[in-house]
């Protein structure tokens, strides 16, 4: 870099503060372009489908398919197995020669959440130091995206290659802001493959100082009614969790809330609630009428046996019971909804599929399972299919990664 890296990062931060949220990323990448004498700089954000990148500009793209919204344009770049897909999936920078210039692709990632790629065109081949500096700038850009997407619909609009229905919009708001989280003791990733008519699935998680909370829920029915039932269930679970209550209290409060307030008579929500002690690996689990969680350990897939409870909302005064399992380093805990086992998915051997992807990062594991489901059922699902994958390392404390993602981790523990 012609300018010192510290000065460039300071300039990026100042630009992020000086410009409006819809202009902040463009302003920040402009600082980087000046420092590198770059020919062009772009942010490519990950499409919500997980199967494409999107180049956002405030003018129409010169070539290729693009969507328009006022002055904004979104060019979709479908995954084709090439370097763009590899850079995002494997979280590694790529350097590509093309037409007298060099393109550097660097992951824009924070705590394992792969938000997209920083694409920089340079007039000459960059050395290893420049590529490393670009990678660090891309990591800093992730924080700019996080800070500004709270204040504008631009990024959310760009990520939606398919328009959302009202029920899908409601469902989207029930999901966590980031689908992936890396920590010292674990890596977690969730994925939701929606049905043609939204089926009310959700997943959620939250980190306390020494605890990981998570849940997977499936509201009865489809469409807006199902999404509203899911809202009651998730809202109640979050409320009691944030008040510091146990899994049993969370479930019993949600049970009463759904029974009392659901707009459809007899509505219910199935759920798996979990809480992991990050210091010991003790995992408390509560199953409310849901598919049992699966544990991948030592080359085997087994169901986690838990006390049986009715779905939330079915019998509002019924007490709930929780069970537990102690996680070992190298374990993978998987929670799915019944969309993963719908009748059209009979050709998908879920246990075999799980054993076939033990080397994949959870972020890629959930997408591989989703792709396997679609291959078995076809592109249109009868019900939502949701997955939550947690890899346990048992090393509570600081992460080893100095960037946005830890590329050295796999599901068999630390390497």
Residue 18's pLDDT is what? 80
Residue 175's pLDDT is what? 96
Residue 142's pLDDT is what? 94
Residues 170, 146 share a domain: no
Q: What is the CATH number of the domain that holds 170?
A: 3.60.40.10
407 occurs within a structural domain: no
Residues 15, 116 share a domain: yes
Residues 73, 215 share a domain: no
Say how far apart CA 81 and CA 59 lie, in whole Å.
28
413 occurs within a structural domain: no
Mean pLDDT value of segment 35-57? 91
Domain boundary among 159, 184, 200: 159
69 occurs within a structural domain: yes
Say how far apart CA 189 and CA 322 lie, in whole Å.
23
Residues 292, 145 share a domain: no
The total of other beta-carbon atoms located within 10 Å of residue 14's CB is: 13
Domain boundary among 109, 138, 159: 159
Residues 57, 124 share a domain: yes
Residue 413's pLDDT is what? 40
Q: How many domains does the chain fold into?
A: 2
Residue 367: which of 94, 82, 48 has the closest Cα? 48
242 occurs within a structural domain: yes
pTM beyond 0.85, yes or no: yes
pLDDT above 60: residue 60: no
Residue 248's pLDDT is what? 98
Residue 57's pLDDT is what? 81
Residue 93's pLDDT is what? 96
pLDDT tens-digit series, residues 354-411: 999 999 999 999 999 999 988 888 777 878 889 999 999 987 766 555 466 666 664 4
61 occurs within a structural domain: yes
Domain boundary among 124, 142, 159: 159
Residues 337, 221 share a domain: yes
pLDDT above 80: residue 64: no
pLDDT tens-digit series, residues 174-205: 999 999 999 999 999 999 988 767 779 999 99
Average pLDDT value over all residues in the chain:
89
403 occurs within a structural domain: no
Q: What is the CATH number of the domain that holds 90?
A: 3.30.450.40
414 occurs within a structural domain: no
Residues 43, 175 share a domain: no
Residues 231, 120 share a domain: no
Residues 340, 231 share a domain: yes
401 occurs within a structural domain: no
Q: Is 363 exposed, middle or buried (0-12, 13-18, 19+ CB in 10 A)?
A: buried
Residue 412's pLDDT is what? 44
Residues 171, 128 share a domain: no
pLDDT tens-digit series, residues 86-135: 999 999 999 999 888 999 999 999 999 999 999 999 999 999 999 999 99
Higher pLDDT residue, 83 or 403?
83
Which domain range does residue 240 map to?
Answer: 166-392
pLDDT above 50: residue 315: yes
pLDDT above 50: residue 335: yes
Residues 179, 147 share a domain: no
Mention every residue, 6+ apart, whose C-beta is less than 8 A from residue 7.
none
Residues 229, 131 share a domain: no
In degrees, rounded to 5, the angle at the alpha carbon of residue 94 between the alpha carbons of residues 62 and 109 is 85
């Amino acid at each position: 870099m012609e300018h010192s890296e510290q000065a460039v990062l300071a300039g990026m931060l100042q630009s992020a503060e000086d410009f409006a949220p819809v202009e902040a990323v463009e302003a920040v990448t402009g600082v980087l372009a000046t420092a590198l004498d770059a020919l062009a700089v772009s942010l490519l954000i990950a499409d919500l489908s997980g199967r494409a990148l999107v180049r956002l500009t405030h003018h129409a793209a010169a070539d290729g398919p693009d969507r328009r919204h006022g002055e904004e344009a979104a060019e979709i770049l479908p995954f084709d197995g090439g370097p763009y897909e590899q850079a995002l999936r494997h979280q590694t920078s790529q350097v590509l020669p093309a037409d007298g210039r060099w393109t550097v692709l660097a992951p824009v990632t924070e705590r394992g959440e792969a938000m997209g790629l920083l694409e920089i065109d340079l007039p000459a081949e960059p050395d290893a130091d420049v590529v490393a500096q670009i990678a660090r700038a891309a990591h800093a850009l992730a924080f700019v995206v996080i800070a500004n997407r709270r204040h504008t619909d631009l990024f959310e609009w760009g990520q939606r290659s398919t328009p959302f229905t009202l029920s899908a919009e409601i469902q989207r708001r029930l999901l966590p802001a980031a689908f992936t989280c890396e920590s010292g003791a674990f890596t977690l990733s969730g994925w939701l493959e929606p049905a043609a008519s939204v089926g009310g699935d959700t997943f959620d998680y939250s980190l306390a100082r020494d605890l990981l909370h998570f849940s997977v829920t499936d509201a009865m029915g489809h469409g807006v009614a199902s999404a509203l039932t899911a809202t009651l269930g998730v809202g109640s679970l979050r409320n009691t969790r944030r008040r510091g209550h146990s899994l049993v209290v969370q479930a019993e409060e949600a049970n009463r809330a759904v029974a009392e307030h659901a707009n459809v008579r007899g509505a219910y929500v199935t759920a798996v609630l979990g809480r992991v002690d990050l210091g010991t690996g003790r995992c408390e689990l509560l199953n409310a009428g849901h598919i049992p969680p699966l544990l991948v350990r030592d080359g085997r897939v087994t169901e986690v046996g838990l006390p049986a409870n009715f779905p939330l909302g079915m019998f509002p005064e019924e007490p709930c019971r929780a069970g537990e399992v102690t996680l070992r380093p190298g374990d993978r805990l998987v929670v799915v909804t019944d969309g993963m086992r719908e009748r059209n998915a009979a050709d998908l051997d879920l246990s075999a599929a799980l054993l076939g992807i033990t080397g994949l990062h959870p972020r890629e594991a959930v997408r591989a399972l989703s792709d396997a489901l679609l291959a078995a059922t076809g592109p249109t699902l009868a019900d939502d299919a949701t997955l939550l994958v947690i890899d346990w390392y048992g090393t509570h404390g600081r992460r080893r990664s100095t960037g946005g993602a830890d590329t050295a981790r796999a599901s068999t523990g630390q390497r």
